[in-house]
Chains A and B, each alone.
Chain A
């Protein structure tokens, strides 16, 4: 089976299963909503007027919800579908790309659902001219987050306390991407033009971790128990 066919088969069956059970989407959406509601009560309304704070709140929500999705994206030894894919005659790199894209689709759906809630709770608005920019930066950041999450989840899935370890490893590594996304989103929410720099940084981050996953996933997904 070619890499492309293997990739499309993994994505198709991942999406088919999620459409049947909706547990990953539900878990991410519930996390995002809870975090947004808690933050809306906890953050001082005057400080939340600062667009950088608002951008930070939005990205904290997406990162926490995205980590839930990443943890569920690879459960070697604990998930029949993942183990079935590992036994299939497909390159492991195709499994990495397939899992990254399906996780990206789920996190994008979660983000799309949470944006209206965020805008209402924090009385924020996005200038119509900046919508394309926000979409591009969000998609780049979510793609990088998905790639990193799937790669790290494959490394930690067979380790005791792997869920906690995944977050401990994922969040610091995400910092450069988060800093770029938060800075750009803050400028946009404040009515400024963020320019191309945040998107370029996120693109570099994505290429780094998509490349690392492509090369390392075969070793990372190996059984270590």
Chain B
């Protein structure tokens, strides 16, 4: 049995007096998409930022892509692709230049061919030489997905990746997540969009006030949440 893509044991994070995460314990398996759902302020994004090495847990043990955090954070960053609420592409550079910068930082072989392939796949090829500041919200989100996939990461960490996407963009996102998992990669999808969870996730965690409130097959967690909302 292969090692978990994410293994968290008793993960805790505090911001001053506020406990953002309270002893989270869970695994994310390779070849599977784990959805993390919950209301605003439930700790979803804090969890994702810790997995992405942008923040550090105050307590607990964590390994991501088989490497221990925070000790092996450089090796972890080489193995993850992250989509946050910002595309993380400099607005003054063109999309191709911004992706080239990330390709350089990740040591991507044949970066020009890889950039052209991804821009084509995400429908951005006609705009790849335009400054990123001229892009719409949906195009920025597609560009963020290109950036996250550039170095063929083992683990995708996605924070509300469908924000701003139109129907075709959302379908493309779902297909990319499923294809990534079919290739043996793993994904952690942070969202409050239960449609995306139903479309992409195998398993779901429901966070409430920094604690795991429900953990199970995605369909069961969605049913429980919809039932709770109806009740």
Contact = CB atoms under 8 A, between A and B. Distances in A.
Interface of A: 1, 6, 9, 12-13, 16-17, 20-21, 80-81, 83-91, 222-225
Interface in B56-106: 56, 74-75, 77-78, 82, 84, 86-93, 97-98, 101-102, 104-106
8 contacts: A17-B93, A80-B90, A80-B91, A84-B98, A87-B54, A87-B82, A90-B74, A90-B77
B77 A91 contact: no
A89 B106 contact: yes
Contacts of B102: 84, 88
B52 to A, nearest CB: 7
Nearest to B75: A89
A86 B92 CA distance: 19
Given A89-B77, A90-B74, A223-B55, A80 B88 contact: yes
Given A80-B89, A89-B78, A13 B104 contact: yes
Interface in B25-55: 49, 52-55
B106 A88 contact: yes
A91 B143 CA distance: 25
B217 interface: no
A80 B86 contact: yes
Query: Which range contains the number of B residues in contact with the other chain?
Result: 20 to 34
A17 B92 contact: yes
B88 A83 contact: yes
Given A80-B87, A85-B105, A223-B55, 7 more contacts: A6-B105, A84-B101, A84-B105, A87-B82, A89-B74, A89-B78, A223-B54
Contact of A1 (B89, B93, B105): B105
B107 interface: yes
B77 A13 contact: no
Contacts of B91: 80
A115 B201 CA distance: 62
Contacts of A83: 54, 84, 86, 88
Contacts of A13: 101, 104
Contacts of B93: 16-17, 20
A1 B74 CA distance: 9
Given A84-B102, A84-B105, A20 B92 contact: yes
Contact of A90 (B56, B90, B105): B105
Contacts of B105: 1, 6, 9, 84-85, 88-90
